[in-house]
Amino acid sequence: MIFLRPLIRNYSNLLSTTAKVFKPITPDVSTISCTVVDINGTVRAVSKKFSRATFLQQNKLFPRDLRKIDSSNVDVAPSIAVRSNGILVNLLHIKTFIKRNEVLIFDTASPEAAGRLSLFMYDLESKLKTRVVHSGMLSTNNAYNHGLNQPFEFKVLECVLVNVMAILETELREHVSKVEGILNELDSQIDRGNLKDLLVYSKALQMFYQKSLLIKNTLDELLDNDEDLESIYLTENYEIKQMIVDDEDTKTSPHQHQQLANRDTGEIEMLLEAYYKQCDEIVQQAETMLNDIKSTEDIVNIILDANRNSLMVFELRVAIFTLGFTIATILPAFYGMNLKNYIEESNIAFVGIVSSSLVMGALMSVIYLRRLHKLRRMSMISSKQLDKFDENTKQGLLESIRLRKAATTVDKRRKLEKEVVWKWLMGNHK
C-alpha cells in the first residue's frame, strides 16, 4: 500500500505529461497493433501492425486468445493466461503479451484507456531501466545479470499489477468520497436529490466491486494452478531447455529434466499473493461501502414507510371527523326544509336539534377513532383472547384424547367378547 501512494498521488500529473505516448487507434479486423518494449526498457516499435494469422503463428497463441487482446473491446473479463512462450495479461485497460526478452503492449481504441496506458508506459520504462538486485542495491548497468536481478517477466508482471492496483485505489477513493458525502447528508435530512444521487453512485460502486472481484478471482485461480506458476518462469525455462539441448548427448539430461520439474515457485507466489491481498482489501472496502448503502436504504425505507403510515392515519382521522360532521348536519338538514315540522313555535327546538346533532357527530367520531386505534395495535388479538384460545385448544385436545381412549377400550372389549364366543363355540363343537 505504501509503495503505491506516490503513483496514486502523481497519477494526474503523470497522465498529463505522458498522454502523448499512447493515442487511441481505429480498430482493424485484419491486423493487431501493439508497442514493443525490449528487456532494457527501450521502445523498439510504436503501434506496430501485425497480421492476425502471422501474430498467432509467431507467438504460438490460439485464435481464442485474440478476444483478450482485441483493441475495440475494453470491458473484457480479466485474465492471466500462461502460454508456452509468454504470458497473456488482460487486466482493466492493460492488454499485453509478456515474453522472456520483450513485452508487447496492445493499443486501445478508448481515449481514457490510452491515457492510462501512457502512465503504465512511464512506470514500465523507469522500472526496466533500473536494476534491483536481491541485496537491495540498485544497478544502472544494462547487462542482464540472472543471478542478481529479478527476471524480466516478473518485472513486467509486477509493473502491470502495480498499475492496476493504483487505478483501483484511485477509483475506490473517488467512490468512497462521493458515497460518504451522500450518506452524511442523508443522516441529517432525507432529500429526494440525495436519494437519486445515492442510487447512481451505488450502481457505479457495484460495477467497481464486480470488476475488483473478477481481478481478485483471476489472481486466486493463477495461484491455485501449479503448472501455470512453473510456466511463468520464462527466462529460467528457456535457459534450462537450452542446457538440455546442448547436453542432450550427455548423461546429465535426466538431471536437468528433474530440475525443471522440481522448480521452486515461491518467488512468483509471494509476488502474486502480495497483490492478491491488496486486491482483497479493495474488494472488502467496496463491499463494506455497499453494505452501508444497503443499510441506509433500509433505514430510509423504514422512515418513509413510517411517514406514509402517519399520513394515512391522519387522512383517516380527517375522514372520520368529516363523517361525524356529515352525520351531525343530517338532522338540521331535515328540519331546514321548507316543510311544516310542528315545532316552529317551540322555545327549545333549536337547542335540542343542535345538541342532538353534535352528540351524534361526536359519538360517531369517538366510535371510529377507537376502532382505528385497535387496528393500529401490533397484535391481532388481545392477551385474554389468546389465553382463552389456548384453553379451548387444550380442552379440545384432551377431549379428543379421551374419546380416542374410549374408542380403543370399546374396540378391545368387543374383540375380547368375540374371542370368548369363538372359544365357546369351538369347545361345544369338540
Give 135's pLDDT tier (boundaries 50, 70, 90).
Answer: very low
Do 95 and 204 share a structural domain? Answer: yes
> Is residue 283 domain-shared with residue 355, that is, in the same domain?
no
Beta bridge partners of 32: 50
State which of 274, 301, 328 marks the end of a domain.
301
Q: Which candidate, 164, 403, 138, 121, places its Cα nearest to that of 279?
A: 164
| Rounded average pLDDT over 141-170 | 77
Angle between helices 234-246 and 253-261 (to 10 degrees): 170
Residue 427 has pLDDT above 90, yes or no: no
Residue 254 lies in a domain: yes
Total count of domains within the chain: 2
Residue 12 has a pLDDT of: 44
Q: Are residues 292 and 391 in the same domain?
A: no
Contact between residue 123 and residue 163 where contact means Cβ atoms under 8 Å apart: yes
21: in domain = yes
Question: Could you tell me the three cell numbers for 76?
Answer: 473484457
Question: Cβ(361)–Cβ(324) under 8 Å?
Answer: yes
- Nearest Cα to Cα of residue 292 among 195, 176, 212: 176
Give the Å distances, CA to CA, from 333 to 99, 139, 346, 356, 362. Answer: 99, 107, 18, 13, 17
Report the mean per-residue pLDDT for the chain: 76
Question: What span, in angstroms and rounded, lies between the C-alpha atoms of 397 and 340?
Answer: 67
* 266 and 367 part of one domain: no
pLDDT, mean of residues 185-210: 86
Compute the average pLDDT of residues 107-130: 83
Give the range among 67-71, 122-126, 200-204 with minimum mean pLDDT.
67-71
Residue 384 lies in a domain: yes
Residues 221 and 167 in one domain: yes
With respect to residue 185, please indicate whether it lies within any of the assigned structural domains.
yes
pLDDT for the residue numbered 354: 79
360 and 214 in one domain? no
Region 310-321 average pLDDT: 83
What does the pLDDT average to over 81-97? 88
More confident residue, 397 or 161: 161
> What does the pLDDT read at residue 296?
83
Q: Give the CA count within 13 Å in the CB-facing half-sphere of 352.
A: 7
Task: State whether 171 and 251 are in the same domain.
Answer: yes
Other beta carbons less than 10 A from residue 289's beta carbon: 21
Confidence (pLDDT) at 35: 87
Identify the CATH number of the domain in which residue 190 sits.
Answer: 1.20.58.340
Query: For residue 287, what pLDDT is reported?
Result: 92
Domain boundaries, position 415: 347-426
Q: How confident is the model at residue 383, as a pLDDT?
A: 52
Are both 97 and 203 inside the same structural domain? yes
**243, 274, 301 - which closes a domain:** 301
- pLDDT band for position 226 (50/70/90)? confident
Considering the domain architecture, whether residues 158 and 281 belong to the same structural domain is answered as yes
Per-residue pLDDT of 237-246, as tens digits, reads 888 777 776 6
pLDDT-based confidence at 261, cuts 50/70/90?
A: low
* Dihedral sign for Cα atoms in the order 38, 44, 48, 50: negative
From 125-129, 291-295, 378-382, the region with the lowest mean pLDDT: 378-382
Q: Are 133 and 98 in contact (CB under 8 A)?
A: no
3-state secondary structure 263-275: CCCHHHHHHHHHH
- Greater model confidence, 330 or 138: 330
**Cβ contact 303:331 at 8 Å:** no
379 and 267 together in one domain = no
Is 6 within a domain?
no
| Domain-embedded: residue 294 | yes
- Are 211 and 353 in the same domain? no
In this structure, the answer to whether residues 371 and 269 fall within a common structural domain is no
DSSP one-letter string for 309-358:
HHHHHHHHHHHHHHHHHHHHHHHHHHHTSSS--S-TT-SSHHHHHHHHHH
Q: Give the per-residue pLDDT at 19.
A: 39
Q: Say if 210 falls within a structural domain.
A: yes
Q: Per the domain annotation, does 142 fall within a domain? A: no
